[in-house]
Amino acid sequence: MIVDTGVLIWFFRGNNNALVELRGALPFSVSCITWMELMQGAKNRQEQNVILKQLNAWGVGVLQIDEQISARASQLTKEFSLKYGITIADAFIAATALEHSDTLLTANTKHFGFVPGLATKKFDP
């Protein structure tokens, strides 16, 4: 299972449904894009450290971008940016899940539902 940024944000805001869902998904991975979004969204170094400590405690794997993921994300951006408004970040997250043949746990299925072959699991906060 690959977890999208929004699910983790819900968890760090104290949402119990997110805690239950994430515990049930263990072991899970995140795209390096999700990792960067979490670091960027932290208010200060202390928040970053809390996030890192929790990800480490769960043993979360961070999936790096490689040539195949980059090529797939580029294709998704070309194909879906005009019609569906896919962002670069979401294209990379979707491409990571596709290249790893894994399911994406997301609170934002509308951001990914149009991507052919992408398995998603909806998280409801």
**Which tens digits make up the pLDDT trace of 77-122?**
999 999 999 999 999 999 999 999 999 999 999 999 999 999 999 9
* Locus of tokens 């990379």: 92
CA angle 26, 40, 9 (to 5 degrees): 40
pLDDT at residue 116, rounded to an integer: 97
Taking all residues of the chain, what is their mean pLDDT, rounded to a whole number? Answer: 97
Instruction: Give residue-wise pLDDT tens across range 27-52.
Output: 999 999 999 999 999 999 999 999 99
pLDDT at residue 121, rounded to an integer: 97
Q: Which of 118, 81, 92 is nearest to 5 (CA)?
A: 92
Q: Which domains does the chain have, with CATH numbers?
A: 2-122 (3.40.50.1010)
pLDDT at residue 118, rounded to an integer: 98
pTM of the shown model: 0.94
